[in-house]
Amino acid sequence: MGGAAECRNLGRLAATIVYDPDIRNDGNAANDDCETGNNRQVITSQQLAQKLAEAH
């Protein structure tokens, strides 16, 4: 497997968290995500390769 080396040519990568619509309506304030601006992260393939190399 190429691992981090293969990640360098992917361009940009995006990860998005999507919640079930009723998560805000269940009455449990401990799991409500009222800050929707932090549910998406975009990084370059070089950044991903670096993170993978650091974790290894």
pTM of the predicted model as reported, rounded to 2 decimal places: 0.52
The C-alpha atoms of residue 10 and residue 46 are separated, in whole angstroms, by: 9
Segment 17-53, tens digit of pLDDT:
887 777 767 777 776 666 777 788 899 988 888 988 9
User: Would you list the DSSP string of the chain?
Assistant: --THHHHTTS-EEEEE----GGGGTSS-GGG----GGGSEEEEEHHHHHHHHHHH-
Residue of 17, 4, 16 whose CA lies nearest to 45: 4
Residue of 34, 35, 37, 53 whose CA lies nearest to 45: 53
